[in-house]
Amino acid sequence: MCLGLLRPDIDRICHPLHRGCFSFLAFFVFLTMDQRDAEVEAVLDKHVKDSSKNTYCAPAARFLCHVAAKEENVITAPFRAALDAAEGEAGRFEVARTWIKEKRQPAPINFDLVSATVIQRYLVGLRKSDGSKPGKSTYATARSSVRFLFTLYKARMSPETDAGLSQFMKGIKRDVVERQQKGELPVREGKEPFTFELYHKVCMAM
């Protein structure tokens, strides 16, 4: 008999400490496998903050477009078909971005074929709008966006790929430092802090 129908009798005859056990049992019985899978999926989605998803979505889409152009064997057939149907580079980027944002199935790439070399080739090709090499933060975001793809599709990066990528990033950081020492890059990255004079002007204007 359904435990829910027995609830009045349970409340009448059971010790207060035991009622919670019956309530939990009733909840456990009536929670279907589909409901459990949905809750598991919701919890896993919280692994990455929404702000981080927005940050990684665009660079991850650029990585997918690079892989589609340079590493064709890595791309899955449905994702390849969607890219081929898009118009121009901007259209392909939008397809990749939407695929990631909506977490479309199947995965856009075969993660087992994403080696350290595939990721390294993408990273060394990164350039700013003027054609120069970017700074450390751009490389770090690009690497994190690739890891984000693995997390999003519950794929596991092999120890060899992870180690190769970590070693490569150490070399990237040294290269950035050398370019900063030569004056090719500003020493400070990101937004410049307010100077005292600027703070003073803002306060006087208020």
Q: Are 121 and 70 in contact (CB under 8 A)?
A: yes
Query: How many CB atoms lie under 10 A from the CB of residue 72?
Result: 9
* Of 156, 153, 46, 158, nearest in space to 106 by CA: 153
Phi first, then psi, for residue 75 (nearest 5°) are -75, 140
Burial class of 175 by CB neighbour count within 10 A (0 to 12, 13 to 18, 19+):
middle
- For residue 3 the two structure tokens come to 């435990």
Cis peptide before 59 (omega within 30 of 0): no
Q: Pick left, alpha or beta for residue 133 (phi over 0 → left; psi -120 to 50 → alpha; otherwise beta).
A: beta
User: Which segments in the chain show pLDDT lower than 70?
Assistant: 1-30, 41, 44-49, 187-196, 198-201
Q: What is the pLDDT of residue 45?
A: 67
CA-CA distance, 106 to 96, in Å (whole number)? Answer: 13
Q: What is the pLDDT of residue 164?
A: 95
Q: What is the pLDDT of residue 180?
A: 86
Q: What amino acid occupies position 186?
A: P
* Of 64, 70, 61, 60, nearest in space to 121 by CA: 70
Q: What is the pLDDT of residue 47?
A: 64
Q: What is the pLDDT of residue 187?
A: 62
Q: What is the pLDDT of residue 77?
A: 96
Q: Which residues contact 137 (CB under 8 A, 6 or more apart)?
A: 189, 190
**What length does the chain have?**
206
Q: Are 161 and 119 in contact (CB under 8 A)?
A: yes
pTM listed for this prediction = 0.71
117 vs 70, 96, 124, 161, CA distance in Å? 12, 21, 11, 8
CA-CA distance, 26 to 94, in Å (whole number)? Answer: 46
Q: What is the pLDDT of residue 112?
A: 95
CA-CA distance, 139 to 141, in Å (whole number)? Answer: 5
Q: What is the pLDDT of residue 46?
A: 67
